[in-house]
Structure formats: C-alpha cells, structure tokens
Structure 1
C-alpha cells in the first residue's frame, strides 16, 4: 500500500474553503454580507493578512465583491458563467483538456439542447428561432460579425427552449472557448459567404426538425454539423472522441471547409 504526499495547506485556503462551503449549502446567499475583517479575524483565529488573502482569492473566483470604503462587509455575488469560462479556458491552456474533448462536449451539449427543444419548445420559442434564422439570412452580405451574432441568437433561443439552465450556461462557455481557439477559420476561408450559407442551411434543417418535434433528428444534425465544422482542426489521436458521437451506419458528414 502506498500513500500520496500530503500537501501543506495555508490558513487562507481553509478560510476560503469554509466560506465556499457556506455558499454551497445556502447558508450564505447572493446579496448577503460577510462580517468585517476584524470579526473574521476573531472567528477564524487568523491574522488580517490571512483574511485579506482569502478575500482576494474569493473575489478573483467571482464569489464575493469588496468595495473600498464600503461600511458593510464583502458581498456574496450570484453565480456568473464568467467564472466557469475562466476555469475552462485555464484547463485548455494548461493542456489538461484538448480541443477534441471540448468539441466532443459541445456536440453533447448542442445535441441535447436540440433534442429537448424539439420536445419542449413553445410556439413562441419556435417563432424566436424563426426570427434568428431570418436575421442570419439577411446578414450574409453584411459580413461574418453580424452573421455570427444572429447565429448566436439562434443557439441561445434553442438553449432556452431546452429548459435547462446548465445547458445554457455550459453551451455559452464552451462555444466561446472553442471559437477563441479557432479564430482563423472564417478569416482564411476563400469564400466566406459560401461558408455562411452552409451554416444557414444547417440551421434551417435544425429548425425544421424542432418544428416537426423530431428530437432525434435535431440532435443528430447538431452533432454532424459540429463534426463537419471542427474535425479538421482536431488531432488524429482525438478524432475517435468525435466519431463516437456519429451514427455507425452513417457516413461522416462533409467538411464545412470551402
């Protein structure tokens, strides 16, 4: 039997852990205030510098906000996807998560969002998707920035219709990180409009499947489109991560590359 070496824990880390635990248990809610520094020093039995370091970490993590000169203690903040975005970005940049795994996760998220939207979307939500699709078509001649904004509105409408807050938050974060890693795809495309029209055609198919309440088809379309769009950027070693989400009896979808 072997044991791992014990990592020394600094006092401020224990302070951070206790405050985070109170938040997770609901004992501290957004808008609540922590006690003053002096009171925290007394309760934790640590120095002022330890409390300040703990608060610095908590603020960096987006858990609390301190205002200079504010007579109240640090304020507990509501959850923000910004924190999750930073964490995912850090994982990618330290090579703990590869692009293939990120694209695979997005295939899972978008597929699930499409599936749920097809089953749960109201007529009003489908109308929102219609409006976003029409905006995508109308902005093709205006450039990719405008087109991508309309594209984002379509995905957001689908995610909202899924009724899953987690899907909405995670999809937004993963989409942003993946796109930040591949900034040259559109810029290097010899025909941006052709690429945008392919994307428009895919979104129209998704909307048709959602309107027909065909969740399986809507999910399959999401996975196929993401594979077609990103597979060429994923290493050979990570290709199986994406291919595992494609149907065994269907040929790989054609690349979006022009």
Structure 2
C-alpha cells in the first residue's frame, strides 16, 4: 500500500535566476573576490550556455541587489561589491512586503538586537559615541514638537550610535539592515492620533535613561531598559496573543 501525500505544483525557475543564484553564491563564498571584475557578457554566455538577454537580465538583478556595479571605462564585466547591510535591508523589505516575513518576527529580532547591543555598548562605548547618543536624544526632544519623520530620524540615529558603540560589526550591520523596515513602523507609530507630543517626549525620556545606563557602564540595566522599551512600544502592533507572550518573555 503506497503512502499518500499532498504535493504543491512544481514551479519552473527562470534561467536567469539560476545564473543569479550561482554568481551570488560565488561572491558570498569569496570564490569571486570583492573588487574583481566579473567575466564579460560574451564569456558568461558561453559558460552558462544562454543568450545575451538572459545574461543581461541576471546582471541587472545582481546590480539591483548591490552585488555588482558597472563602472565607466572598465573592460570586461561589472565590478564585484561586498555584500552590505543595504543588500540585506532590501531583501527584508521585499520579504515583509510579500508577507514572507511578518512584523512580529522583526519586532522580536529588534528586542534581542537592542538588548544585546546596549549591554555591549555599556562596556565598550567611548566619549565620541556617548556624545553622538546625547546629541540624538536632544534632537528627539526638540523634534517632538515637529513632524514625526524628523523625530523618527533622531530616534534611529540614537540607536545606530548604540549599535556602533557595541563594537560588534555583525550586530551593527544587521541593525542597519532591519532598520529600513522598522523605521516605517516607527514613523507610523509616532504619527498615530494617540501619539501626541507628550508620548514622543516619554519615548525620548526612556532613551535618556538608557543613555545614562550606558554612560555609567551598567550593562545589565542598559539591556533591560532597551528590551522593555522595544517590547512596550511595538507590542500593540502584534495581533497574535501567543506572539505577544513571546515578546514579553524576550523582554525579561
């Protein structure tokens, strides 16, 4: 007796996508070094056994991903770029836009990110980084009377300063990658009718307490303030009760 299983219809993959996947993997793995030139279109046509339009479509996608760059006056193919936070941010925005990644997952990530980077920043921060944080908070306090966009800019500047002060390049880059997605949520949150200037000032006050903990090297307190701040701020945007419970656990 044979087992039964419900399969989904097979979806054909465009030829250019197979080229994109192979070249992307070669760049990420280091097989094709950053700064080098890719083979010419003609050479790629021969290697992949495809037409010129197919190669050009693959190169166009790779350039839009930020992995290649065409430079005037160079011979051969485009120059290979290092994968960056912008590349990841673009992918995350696309995933959120197509519901492949939900907002709850991003908020959970933000809780972990802010808690960890704040703890590290309390240990590693220097005077210049502290000054950058202080200036961002003062800008937030001034912009509470202005529009939500400028307030969100200052808020993001404060957190970017913390990511930098953490001294962990992986966390800094991943923070920048996801910030492009969450900034839209932050601005919408600040623009809501229930979020008047008083609420913006309360948000700035929380960041000032976080700054104080980082300034006095209190890693435990800095992590706690950061986790709770993100969880409290974004919990209303999560509909699922189980996801809200998970967020509460992460914040502790």
Q: Is the 8 A contact 1:84 1:173 kept in 2?
A: yes
| Residue 227 (1) aligns with residue 231 (2) | yes
Residue 71 of structure 1 and its aligned partner are, at CA, apart by 4.1
Number of matched residues? 247
Separation (CA, whole Å) in 1 of partners of 2:147 and 2:96: 29
Deviations 1:64-92 (A, max 9, x none): 13368864312212323232122112222
Structure 2 equivalent of residue 242 of structure 1: 247
Matches within 5 A, 1:1-258: 10-66=14-70, 71-181=75-185, 183-190=187-194, 192-237=196-241, 238-247=243-252
Residue 129 of structure 1 and its aligned partner are, at CA, apart by 1.6
Residue 105 of structure 1 and its aligned partner are, at CA, apart by 0.7
Residue 117 of structure 1 and its aligned partner are, at CA, apart by 0.2
Q: Is the 8 A contact 2:117 2:166 kept in 1?
A: yes
CA shift in 2, pair 1:25/1:170, >3 Å:
closer
- Unaligned 5+ segments in structure 1 are 248-258
TM-score (norm 2): 0.85
Separation (CA, whole Å) in 2 of partners of 1:21 and 1:146: 39
CA shift in 2, pair 1:10/1:151, >3 Å:
closer
Separation (CA, whole Å) in 2 of partners of 1:39 and 1:81: 30
The secondary structure found in structure 2 opposite 1:141 is coil
Separation (CA, whole Å) in 1 of partners of 2:4 and 2:62: 34
Separation (CA, whole Å) in 1 of partners of 2:184 and 2:147: 18
